[in-house]
């Protein structure tokens, strides 16, 4: 299990995302720069113990209506070759030193562990405590073993898609909305909860796996 270090990050994750989010095609631009707050998320363990994997949910109150975003991140102790386009930024970690933060949809370690979570081979972990499963995160999958996914993500105005050679597509919902029901074409999913600016909790789909063109 990954160890959570309660230490100082410079800059913070929210400071990095304040600069990075407006460059994304799925970001819903508000009146000014993002006004971000941490709203939830979970972690996954890297079997090799080298890469930090976090699915961070942030809310942005800069627009007329607050928006919630899912930001999968990986944290590495050295640059990831060929992933310069996916670099969110670098941070100084009080224990681990310099860390390179990447948009995890372009990191093969995160993609592999997300598929393992969907299949039930990995357990979502609490965002803030070591060796503690996150029971709010649910998953399902009906189908053969998931293979052929590469960390070649395609962004659109509301999400990110990871295609596989067999026609299967994994769609991450970057703009989060309460959605308790799976779409009929789904063969797998990951769902979770997050906090809204008014203090209430919402629950929705983080990722949906489907075969063939998305409805």
Domain definitions of the chain by residue range: 9-211
pLDDT for the residue numbered 6: 63
pTM: 0.92
Question: pLDDT 10s digit of each residue in the chain, 215 long?
Answer: 566 666 677 899 999 999 999 999 999 987 689 999 999 999 999 999 999 999 999 999 998 889 999 999 999 999 999 999 999 999 998 777 799 999 999 999 999 999 999 999 999 999 988 889 999 999 999 888 888 887 779 999 999 999 887 788 999 999 999 977 788 889 999 999 999 989 999 999 999 998 765 44
pLDDT for the residue numbered 215: 41
Cα–Cα dist 66/138, whole Å: 25
pLDDT for the residue numbered 49: 92
For 79-103, b/e burial (b = at least 16 CB within 10 A) is ebeebeebbbeebebeeeeebbbbb
Please write down the HEC assignment for all residues of 122-189.
CCCECCCCCCCECCCCEEEECCCCCCCCCCCCEECCCEEEEECCCCEEEEEECEECCCCCCCCCEEEE
pLDDT for the residue numbered 7: 66
Structure tokens given for 37: 């707050």
Structure tokens given for 138: 């649910």
Cα–Cα dist 107/149, whole Å: 11
- CA 103 to chain centroid: 8
pLDDT for the residue numbered 107: 95
- What are the Cα distances from residue 9, in Å, to 6, 99, 115? 9, 9, 29
Provide CB contacts within 8 A for 188, sequence distance 6+: 118, 119, 139, 140, 141, 142, 143, 208, 209
What's the number of CA atoms in the CB half-sphere (13 Å) around residue 138?
A: 9
pLDDT for the residue numbered 168: 87
pLDDT for the residue numbered 183: 85
Inter-residue contact 202 to 196 (CB < 8 Å): yes
Cα–Cα dist 140/43, whole Å: 18
């Amino acid at each position: 299990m990954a160890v959570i270090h309660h230490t100082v990050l410079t800059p913070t994750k929210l400071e990095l995302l304040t600069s990075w989010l407006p460059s994304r095609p799925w970001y819903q631009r508000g009146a000014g720069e993002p006004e971000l707050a941490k709203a939830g998320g979970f972690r996954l363990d890297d079997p090799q113990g080298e890469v930090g994997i976090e699915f961070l949910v942030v809310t942005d109150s800069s627009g007329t209506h607050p928006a919630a975003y899912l930001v999968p991140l990986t944290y590495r102790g050295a640059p990831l070759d060929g992933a310069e386009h996916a670099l969110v930024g670098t941070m100084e970690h009080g224990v681990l030193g310099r860390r390179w933060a990447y948009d995890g949809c372009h990191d093969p370690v995160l993609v592999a562990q997300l598929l393992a979570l969907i299949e039930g081979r990995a357990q979502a972990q609490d965002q803030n405590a070591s060796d503690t499963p996150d029971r709010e995160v649910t998953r399902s999958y009906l189908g053969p073993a998931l293979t052929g996914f590469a960390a070649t993500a395609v962004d659109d105005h509301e999400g990110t898609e990871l295609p596989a050679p067999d026609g299967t597509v994994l769609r991450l919902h970057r703009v989060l909305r309460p959605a308790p029901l799976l779409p009929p074409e789904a063969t797998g999913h990951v769902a979770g909860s997050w906090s809204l600016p008014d203090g209430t909790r919402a629950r929705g789909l983080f990722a949906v796996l489907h075969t063939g063109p998305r409805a």
